[in-house]
């Protein structure tokens, strides 16, 4: 049996000194005594990769620690752990592969890289006896991945549903609570630092999709790829959609869903209508929240800041502590995620859901009857109906919610509705979640 290894110190190399990297430095410096107590030795930040060593920074840092050459970290024999918070896929992927081959443990917050190349990196880490931890890649300061891997390891996860992107949640909150337009809400999010100058990855749902791919893979112990996630962003959500949703007792949130039934999986990210009474409906601004359903534990909810310097850095440093504890015990690389099940995705016929639909139709006798017939012909019954005349009187707006049916049936009826001469426009289609029938 191996004894506990006595370490003089742990040397860290940090790739990136932006918002999260700065938070990592602050936590290590401010919590050094507490961290040393947990792991039995101090942490030394040996080198930090930056683009410009002369740039003024929000923290004081020894200039000799800064470097513009990644080789000063990934090929440095004095560095034990590489923390990657620089983002991007290339050349970051190659840097981390080289670091693993040099027997360096990795802590990363890079959801893009993990969603695309996670299995490959984990395989290389295991082959080299290294840890690769990525708690901060999914929900910022919420310890969600560790909870799935450790706290709920004895349970069988059947469903995960939640808000995993703070930018879109902030925008939708402003649209819903303040009557702000999408464009103005986006500008406010950018001004407060919640949205990037190019917000495409957030508002088109790609950021959330990457997180859900990671979350579903770990929660269901299978290999989920980004291409397996059905994605729709929030750019088409209008103030009218939000107001009609309120009339029906709902709010609109960008929701990630990972569902497993009969060993078949569905993963999606899209704007979803939730009942105003649902706990996720009260999660506002930049906050994240995820429900996890287990066969034994039932329903649990995890809530907290999904982004930001110190919340995300807290998850990064927690992973660093886990690496160092493994180093003391000599068990690095033995607790890496390894898929247990073959991936089996649900067919559209096996995805059962409800929808909210807005239509502009010709305001004439028989128009709605024709629409209702199409739904009935595809086995879909309507639950609630709202008709609103629009001036001039030739046009009416119809808003309906449906009972449950298969996605395949809905796709067929949507295709038929597009071809009907009585329908001028299908204004919006949103999934409804969070209530039982």
Q: Residue 107: name the closest of 50, 216, 28 by CA.
A: 28
Q: Residue 175: name the closest of 251, 78, 75, 85 by CA.
A: 251
Would you give the DSSP letter of residue 26?
Answer: H
Identify the residue whose tokens are 């802590």: 107
> From the CB of residue 309, how many other CB atoms can be counted at a distance below 10 Å?
19
> From the CB of residue 31, how many other CB atoms can be counted at a distance below 10 Å?
15
Say which of 174, 211, 253, 346 is annotated catalytic.
211
Q: Residue 164: name the closest of 91, 41, 257 by CA.
A: 257
Would you give the DSSP letter of residue 51?
Answer: S
Determine how β-strand 298-305 pairs with β-strand 287-294: antiparallel
Evaluated on CA atoms 18, 23, 24, 25, the torsion sign reads positive
Determine contact, residues 251/281, Cβ cutoff 8 Å: yes
Determine contact, residues 324/330, Cβ cutoff 8 Å: no
Q: Give the separation between CA 105 and CA 80, rounded to whole angstroms.
A: 7
Q: Give the separation between CA 84 and CA 73, rounded to whole angstroms.
A: 11
Burial of 210 (0-12, 13-18, 19+ CB in 10 A): buried
Q: Is 177 a catalytic residue?
A: no
Q: Residue 273: name the closest of 295, 259, 254 by CA.
A: 254
Torsion of CA 42, 47, 48, 54, to 10 degrees: 120
Q: Give the separation between CA 437 and CA 430, rounded to whole angstroms.
A: 17
Q: Give the separation between CA 43 and CA 11, rounded to whole angstroms.
A: 6
What letters, b where the CB count within 10 A reaches 16 and e where it falls short, cover 336-372?
A: bbeeeeeeeebeeeebebbbbbbbebbbeeebbeebb
Cα Rg for the chain, rounded, in angstroms?
Answer: 25
The structure tokens listed for 69 are 């050459």
Would you give the DSSP letter of residue 335?
Answer: S
**Which residues are marked as active site?**
211
């Amino acid at each position: 049996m191996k004894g506990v290894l006595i370490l003089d110190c742990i040397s860290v190399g940090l790739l990136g000194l932006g918002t999260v990297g700065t938070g990592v430095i602050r936590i290590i410096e401010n919590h050094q005594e507490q961290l040393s107590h947990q792991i039995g030795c101090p942490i030394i930040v040996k080198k930090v990769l930056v683009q410009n060593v002369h740039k003024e920074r929000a923290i004081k840092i020894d200039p000799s620690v800064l470097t513009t050459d990644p080789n000063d970290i990934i090929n440095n024999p004095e560095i034990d752990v590489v923390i990657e918070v620089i983002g991007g896929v290339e050349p970051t992927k190659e840097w981390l592969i080289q670091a693993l081959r040099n027997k360096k443990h990795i802590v990363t917050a890079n959801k893009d890289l993990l969603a695309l190349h996670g299995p490959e990196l984990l395989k290389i880490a295991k082959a080299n006896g290294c840890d690769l931890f990525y708690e901060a890649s999914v929900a910022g300061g919420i310890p969600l991945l560790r909870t799935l891997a450790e706290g709920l390891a004895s349970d069988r996860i059947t469903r995960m549903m939640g808000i995993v992107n703070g930018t879109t949640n902030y925008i939708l909150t402003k649209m819903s609570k303040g009557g702000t337009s999408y464009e103005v809400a986006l500008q406010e999010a950018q001004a407060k630092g919640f949205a990037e100058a190019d917000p495409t990855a957030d508002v088109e749902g790609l950021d959330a999709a990457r997180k859900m791919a990671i979350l579903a893979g770990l929660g269901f112990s299978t290999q989920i790829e980004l291409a397996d996630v059905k994605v729709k962003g929030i750019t088409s959500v209008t103030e009218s959609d939000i107001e009609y949703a309120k009339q029906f007792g709902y709010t609109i949130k960008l929701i990630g869903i990972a569902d497993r039934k009969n060993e078949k999986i569905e993963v999606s990210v899209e704007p979803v209508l939730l009942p105003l009474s649902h706990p996720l409906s009260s999660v506002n601004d930049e906050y994240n929240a995820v429900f996890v359903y287990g066969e034994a534990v039932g329903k649990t909810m995890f809530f907290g800041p999904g982004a930001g310097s110190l919340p995300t850095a807290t998850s990064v440093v927690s992973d660093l502590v886990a690496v160092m504890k493994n180093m003391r015990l000599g068990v690095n690389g033995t607790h890496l995620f390894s898929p247990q099940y073959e991936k089996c995705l649900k067919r559209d016929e096996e995805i059962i859901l409800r929808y909210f639909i807005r239509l502009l139709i010709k305001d004439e006798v028989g128009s709605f009857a024709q629409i209702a017939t199409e739904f009935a012909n595809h086995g879909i019954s309507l639950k609630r109906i709202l008709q609103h005349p629009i001036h001039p009187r030739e046009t009416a707006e119809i808003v309906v919610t449906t009972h449950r049916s298969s996605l395949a049936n809905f796709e067929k009826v949507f295709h038929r509705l597009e071809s009907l001469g009585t329908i001028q426009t299908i204004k919006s289609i949103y999934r409804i979640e969070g209530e039982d029938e």
